[in-house]
Amino acid sequence: MIMLKRSFIVIFILTFFHVQSQENMENTIYQFKVADIYGKIYDFSQLKGKKVMIVNTASKCGLTYQYKGLQELYNSYSIYGFVIIGFPSNDFLRQEPGSNEEIIEFCEENYGVTFPMMSKITVKGSKKHPIYDYLTKKSKNNYKDSRVTWNFQKYLISREGLIEKIVSPKTNPDSEDIISWITDGE
């Protein structure tokens, strides 16, 4: 009888923590699995413990030069557990018309991009990708409502998978605000 009670208590505790863990994941980016630019599944749970910048990108935008700064930032700070995730999007004046193959070729040839790039998605409107639905709705992210205003808007995600800052598209990747956020606590 005592053994049965102990077993019940252990099962209850394990179930409780599993449910808590699942609930906690629902409010983080760790809940997402998306197709990367090569068509492979990229599981965001592998980012646990890392600071992450999620940025929507475009190859034919006045801000496309930011790819260079993003790559330099990634080169400088990835050793500290910092990751950039690029999401190509054709939502603003059709400035990303290419296929995934064309996008990655452009990024590699022109900017030497090595940070993870995902498949082209929609970041606004009724067909927006679930990860951007999460990033832009307070009811899902427990941070704040926002909207993606242009290409190269940056969402800064904590080591716990939560949004900490939203950075304007016009803010360069090497801005003091972004660098201090990356190095804070290092």
Type of residue numbered 157: I
Question: DSSP class of residue 78?
Answer: G
List 29, 47, 52, 61, catalytic entry? 61
Q: Which three-class secondary structure state does DSSP give residue 16?
A: helix
Active site residue 107: no
Q: What is the rounded distance in angstroms from the CA atom of residue 118 to the CA atom of residue 83?
A: 13
User: Beta-carbon neighbour count of residue 16 at 10 Å?
Assistant: 10
Helices 66-77 and 176-183, packing angle to 10 deg: 20
The maximal CA–CA distance of the chain, rounded, in angstroms, is 72
User: Beta-carbon neighbour count of residue 177 at 10 Å?
Assistant: 12
Q: What is the rounded distance in angstroms from the CA atom of residue 38 to the CA atom of residue 21?
A: 30
Type of residue numbered 84: I
Q: What is the rounded distance in angstroms from the CA atom of residue 50 to the CA atom of residue 156?
A: 11
Residues assigned a catalytic role: 61
